[in-house]
Structure formats: C-alpha cells, structure tokens
Chain A
Amino acid sequence: MDSVLDIILSSIRMATPLWFAAMGGLLAERSGVVNLALEGLMLIGAFTGAAVAYNMGSPVIGFIAAGAAGALLAILFGFFTLTLKGDQVVIGMGINLLSAGLTPFLNKYFFHVTSSTPSLSIDQRFVYGPTLFAFGLIVSVSFWLRRSVSGLWVRVAGEHPTALASAGIRVKRVRWAAVIFSGVFAGFGGATMSTMLASAFSRQMTAGAGFMAIAALILGRWAPLPTALGCFLFGLTDSIQIRLQGQLTGADSAWLLQLIQLGPYIVTLFVLAGAIRSSSTPKALGEN
C-alpha cells in the first residue's frame, strides 16, 4: 500500500512541470496558435528560476522571474507568428533552438560554465509549493475557460475567428494575451523542474517535457481536466521508470536500465498514435 501511495505522490511531483506547460499550451492552442515553443519556454524558465533563486536566495522570486522570462520569449514568438505572420510550427522550433543556445550562453556569462547553475541549498528550493499552485491553476483555467467572457473570447478565437471579429473583439489581441500567458505558465513549469524536482538548472534539462505537454494536450482533447490527467499519466511513467532504476542496481541488469529510461518517450508515442485527432481540435488552429 505504502509503495502505491509513494508512486502516486512521486507521479504528482513529476507531473507538476507538465501541468504548467500543458495549461500554457492549452491557452495558446485554444486561441488558435500552435505553440511548439513550450519546450524552449520551459528551458529558459528552468534557467531563470534556478539562477534567480540562487542569487536572491528565494525560490519564490526565482519562480516569478521564470514566468517573466517565459513571457519575454513568448513575446518574441508572438512577434514572429502574429505580427510577422510566420509559420507557427517553424517559428516554434526556431524559438526552441534559440532557447537551447541562449541558456548555456547566459549560464556561461553568469556562472562561468555552460553545464549547470550552482547547486541550490534547501531553503532556496521548493518542497511542494508549485504543485499546489498547479492544482489551483488547472481548476481556475477550467472554470475560466467555460464560465468567463474572456474565456469565451479565447475559445471563439480558436474556433471561429471571423465571428469574434464581427462581434468587435480583436482576434489578434486575444491571441497575443493567450501566447504571453502560455509563456508565463511554461516558464513556471521550467522553474518547477530546476527548483523543485532538481536543485539546479542543467543543460537541456527539459529533455522533451514541452513536447510531452503537447502530447497530453492532444490526448486530453484540449480540455483542462483531461489534459491534466494526461500529464499525470506521463508523470506516472516517469516515476515508475525512476523506481525501477532504483531497484535494478545489480551489474547484470544494467543493460535494462537504458531501455527503461525510454519508457516515457515510448508511452508518448503510443498516446500520439492512439489519440486520433477529432472534432475537438480547435478549428482555426495554425491559421494566420
């Protein structure tokens, strides 16, 4: 029994960064913008979160700064996709590459190495704060999207942008707001990785988490609660994988370890193959 509870709790911990990123992705995609930049937004958030928490001695300030860094990079994404009308998929991957190059560049400048930020002490880290915050965020996004006027704007911007425009609401502004908030949330997700799950930022530490958040979004059909459940599934895979790693310490089982580490990626692939796109895909997704 104990170990089942352990696995669930550790799955919740592992799912926390995905929850933030997936909620960010959900906002952007429901408003009609494909945000494949989540990975890069998380990465810059992870770096900023750890770097600021280390320098200011407070994880909360680091967390807020990570949101701001995510927002800044998201503004760049918005500038190229919404203002200059670039291809959202290609620009998203460009932003990921930019973040992958920028984080070691900044790390070198501030901490003299490219590999990682200095290790955080226990009072510079979170214990479970972001997890509670993520719970709150999921519930609020779910209510806000369904019940509020601005939530309605976001949904209509993704389904029938022309209807929104004829109602006198500027579609572009709605999308801008959604993109910026998706950057804030993804930045939070990154900071969760570097200041709660780990005790430092390390090079390319997001390792596909942003894309898993997108997979969870597809699995959850762009609805907040099912998407959060999808993220939990990936958290579960991750925590089972880590647990198995802990149990397979013998020399003769070392060959299995590498394969087990692939678990989350393989599960994601099966989820993608199984969750055939349906009518719940926002209709105007990816249009300029």
Chain B
Amino acid sequence: MAFEKNLRSLTRPLSALILGAFVSAILIRIVGESPWKVAEIFYNGAMGSAYDLGLSLFYTVPLILTGLAVSVGLRARLFNIGVEGQLTVAALAAALAGIWGPQDVILNRVLGFAAALLGGFLWGAILGYLKARRQAHEVVAGIMLNFIAYGITSWLALNFFKNPDSQNPETIPLIDAVRIPAWSYFQSAPIGWHVLLAPLAAMLLWGFYRWTEAGWAMEAVGENPKAAREAGLSIAQKQFWALAMGGMIAGIVGFIEVYGNSGKFIVGFSPAYGFMGIAVALVGRLHPFGIILSAALFGAIHKGSLDLDFETEWITRDFAQILQAVLILFMSCATLVPAGIQNRWEGLKRRLYGQRP
C-alpha cells in the first residue's frame, strides 16, 4: 500500500521530466541543433569522468540545501524566494568569522559554521518578520532582500575586506589549515566531508517533520490554516519560523562554499543556487529524500549545461534555466490534463463500457 503510494508520487516528476525533455528537444530542433548531440554533451559534461562527476556532486550539495530551504517554506504555504540572499549573507558571515576567528582549526571551523547558520537565519528572519508581522508579500519582499543582500555583501567585501593580492572581487582568504581538504577520488573537484552536511540536514528535517510537534504544527498551518488557527496555533509564529529556518538551512551553503571550496567570499559565487532550489523542491515533491534525488538531477543538468557554451553553436548555459522553468510549470499545476479533455475522456470511457451517463 505504502509502496503503491510512493510509486504514484513518482509519476508526476517522471511525466514532468519527459514533457520537459520533449519541450527542450523541440526548442533545440528549432534553432537547428541536434537534441541527441545536446543530450550527449549533457551526459559527458555531467559524468564523463570522475572529475566531471565530482563537479556534478559539487553543484548537487548546495542544491539539496536550497531545495530543503524552499521546501520548508512551501510546506507552510510560503514561497521563500529569498534563499539566494540568505546564502549570500551566510557566506560572507562565514568568511568574516574565518578571517577574524581563532586560528585553531576546529574552533575556527565551528565558528565559521555557526556564523553561516546565524547569517542565513538573520536574513531569513527579516523576511519572516516582514511576512508574519507586517503582512508583506513574501515573494516581493524576498526579491528585494536578495538585491539588498547582494549589494550590501559586495559593498562590505570590496570596501573593507578586499583581497589586496587579487584583481577579482573577493575577500581576504582564510588560512589554508582551516579549509576542508578534498577527497582524492574526484581528482581536483572540491569534494570533502563537508558534502555530508547536506544529506545530514535532509535527515534531520525528515525527523523534524515526522517526530516533533513543531514540525507537525509548521505543516499544519500550510495544509489547513483555518483548522490550525482553531487548534490554537499561531500562524504568524509558524510562518516566521518557516522562513527563518529556511534561511538557516540555506546558510549551510555559505559555510560549504567558504570552507569547502574557495576559502573566501567571492562576489557572485552562487550561480543562482537559491532560485534553482525552487525547481529542486518541487520536483522532489517537498520530501527531504526526494529533494536529494532531484538535486542530483539538477546538479548534473547544471554541470552539463556549462559545456553547451563552447560545444554547440546556438545553445548556451541559459538553456538549463528554460528546462528548469518548464519543470516548475509542469510540477506545480493541479493536473496535467485540462478539465474539458478530462470530461470528454470520461464520456468516451462511459460509451466504451456501455454505461449511460
């Protein structure tokens, strides 16, 4: 029974993927390229070698986290579009903690991690406050907070902490000792123990919704706000926590970027991880483990798309965005068959089986 239910919940993502691939193939044909060639580029780019696979994994990890962050909002019926800003603030916080913190390896890492969580939490809490207490539209406010986060972090990074030895827009680096070493299997891809933080967060979140009362309450206000209010739950409070908690999860991306990858805060380091998290969360059906799977898919798509720029004439990495958008559209409609066609189909079935309506 449960297995059957799980199987049925796979039909929508799978049909959305097939439709998405179909729409993409048509677009690729229209501009005169071969869909098979593009599929091959995607495949080779995503997992052609251990290094490529490592980079796909490298993109997957933040996407798991941003997908989880978006899903926490959506479960409370809130659209947390501010994830991008939250992870940006968190990354700067982690970098600053790493620069200023004690140079002891463990203490420094713990401090950096705490700063990232706090930074993400703070930026999510601002959004949560605006939504819960000021009734601001969370999407519009989230977009504005993203612009502001980008502006303020780059302003701080470039005016007060700029790396004097580099032409790039980045802060002073952390000392090498505190950076997390990469495993050798993926060659030089930056994959170390820090990637385990993402599945760990997914597991914690799964337990949170399954076993804790707070998790249950946060879902209840999304599923049926009226009943939740009558049961004595404060909707505003749960909304605040759904957005602030999302920010905290997104904050882990900041830690991973600074300690696991670049060792500093680089302006514009995120290739829109926060926005990709929307598609990840929806295709993963808001389930923590589903999100891990869909993040792996989108991580591979993102890595694969980077090669489109120089391997095809007309198709660029922007194509991945189109594919994501198509998947979002197909995932979030109530039905894939318009009511008119459904009625006609029902009528046809009745006629075939000889029943009179």
Interface residues as binary, B301-343 with A (CB distance below 8 Å gives 1, 0 otherwise): 0000000000000111011111111101100111110110000
Chain A proximity of B279: nearest CB distance (Å): 8
Q: In the bound complex, what is the Cα–Cα distance between A76 and B326 (angstroms)?
A: 11
Q: Are B319 and A101 in contact (CB under 8 A)?
A: yes
Q: Given that A215-B140, A272-B137 are known contacts, is A84 also in contact with B275, CB under 8 Å in the complex?
A: no
Chain A proximity of B85: nearest CB distance (Å): 11
Q: In the bound complex, what is the Cα–Cα distance between A259 and B322 (angstroms)?
A: 32
Q: Is B100 an interface residue (CB 8 A)?
A: no
Interface residues as binary, A81-93 with B (CB distance below 8 Å gives 1, 0 otherwise): 1011111011101
Q: Given that A85-B335, A91-B332 are known contacts, is A211 also in contact with B325, CB under 8 Å in the complex?
A: no
Q: Are B316 and A105 in contact (CB under 8 A)?
A: yes
Interface residues as binary, A80-123 with B (CB distance below 8 Å gives 1, 0 otherwise): 11011111011101110110111011001100001000000000
Q: Are B328 and A255 in contact (CB under 8 A)?
A: no
Q: Are B318 and A80 in contact (CB under 8 A)?
A: no
Q: Are A262 and B159 in contact (CB under 8 A)?
A: no
Q: Is A202 an interface residue (CB 8 A)?
A: no
Number of chain B residues whose Cβ lies closer than 8 Å to a Cβ of chain A: 48
Q: Are A104 and B316 in contact (CB under 8 A)?
A: yes
Q: Are B151 and A114 in contact (CB under 8 A)?
A: no
Which of A94, A102, A259 has the largest number of chain B CB atoms within 10 A? A94
Chain A proximity of B93: nearest CB distance (Å): 19
Q: Given that A101-B320, A261-B151, A265-B147 are known contacts, is A84 also in contact with B79, CB under 8 Å in the complex?
A: no
Q: Are A93 and B336 in contact (CB under 8 A)?
A: no
Q: Is B31 an interface residue (CB 8 A)?
A: yes
In the bound complex, residues from chain B placing their C-beta under 8 Å from that of A101 are 318-325
Chain B proximity of A78: nearest CB distance (Å): 12
Q: Are A90 and B332 in contact (CB under 8 A)?
A: yes
Q: Are B322 and A273 in contact (CB under 8 A)?
A: no
Q: In the bound complex, what is the Cα–Cα distance between A185 and B298 (angstroms)?
A: 34
Q: Is B143 an interface residue (CB 8 A)?
A: yes
Q: Of the candidates A89, A108, A255, which one forms a contact with B139 in the assembled complex, judged by CB atoms under 8 Å apart?
A: A89
In the bound complex, residues from chain A placing their C-beta under 8 Å from that of B130 are 269, 272-273
Chain A proximity of B218: nearest CB distance (Å): 19
Using a CB-CB cutoff of 8 Å, which residues 43-87 of chain B contact chain A?
79, 81
Q: Given that A86-B332, A101-B318, A258-B155 are known contacts, is A95 also in contact with B325, CB under 8 Å in the complex?
A: yes
Q: Is B348 an interface residue (CB 8 A)?
A: no
Q: Are B134 and A94 in contact (CB under 8 A)?
A: no
Q: Are A105 and B318 in contact (CB under 8 A)?
A: yes
Q: In the bound complex, what is the Cα–Cα distance between A187 and B251 (angstroms)?
A: 36
Q: In the bound complex, what is the Cα–Cα distance between A275 and B321 (angstroms)?
A: 34
Interface residues as binary, B10-39 with A (CB distance below 8 Å gives 1, 0 otherwise): 000000000000000001000100000000
In the bound complex, residues from chain A placing their C-beta under 8 Å from that of B319 are 101, 105
Interface residues as binary, B129-154 with A (CB distance below 8 Å gives 1, 0 otherwise): 01000111101110111011001101
Q: Is B99 an interface residue (CB 8 A)?
A: no
Chain A proximity of B169: nearest CB distance (Å): 11
Q: Is B280 an interface residue (CB 8 A)?
A: no
In the bound complex, residues from chain B placing their C-beta under 8 Å from that of A105 are 27, 31, 315-316, 318-319, 322
Q: In the bound complex, what is the Cα–Cα distance between A84 and B328 (angstroms)?
A: 13
Q: Of the candidates A94, A102, A262, A268, which one forms a contact with B329 in the assembled complex, judged by CB atoms under 8 Å apart?
A: A94
Q: Is B91 an interface residue (CB 8 A)?
A: no
In the bound complex, residues from chain A placing their C-beta under 8 Å from that of B144 are 208, 211, 215, 265-266, 268-269, 272
Chain A proximity of B268: nearest CB distance (Å): 13
Q: Is B266 an interface residue (CB 8 A)?
A: no
Q: Are A93 and B81 in contact (CB under 8 A)?
A: yes
Q: Are A211 and B143 in contact (CB under 8 A)?
A: yes
Q: Is B117 an interface residue (CB 8 A)?
A: no
Q: Are B147 and A208 in contact (CB under 8 A)?
A: yes
Chain B proximity of A238: nearest CB distance (Å): 13
Using a CB-CB cutoff of 8 Å, which residues 217-269 of chain A contact chain B?
218, 255, 258-259, 261-262, 265-266, 268-269
Q: In the bound complex, what is the Cα–Cα distance between A156 and B329 (angstroms)?
A: 28
In the bound complex, residues from chain B placing their C-beta under 8 Å from that of A93 are 79, 81, 139, 278, 328
Q: Is A276 an interface residue (CB 8 A)?
A: yes
Chain B proximity of A264: nearest CB distance (Å): 9
Q: Is A65 an interface residue (CB 8 A)?
A: no
Q: Apart from A101-B325, A102-B322, A208-B143, what are 7 other A-B pairs with CB-CB below 8 Å?
A: A90-B282, A101-B318, A109-B31, A255-B155, A266-B148, A268-B144, A272-B137
13 contacts between A and B (CB under 8 A): A80-B333, A91-B332, A93-B81, A94-B329, A94-B332, A97-B325, A114-B318, A215-B140, A218-B137, A255-B155, A258-B159, A259-B152, A272-B140
Interface set of B (CB-CB < 8 Å, partner A) = 27, 31, 79, 81, 130, 134-137, 139-141, 143-145, 147-148, 151-152, 154-155, 158-159, 275, 278-279, 282, 314-316, 318-326, 328-329, 332-336, 338-339
Cβ-closest 6 pairs across A and B: A101-B321, A86-B333, A98-B325, A94-B328, A84-B333, A101-B322
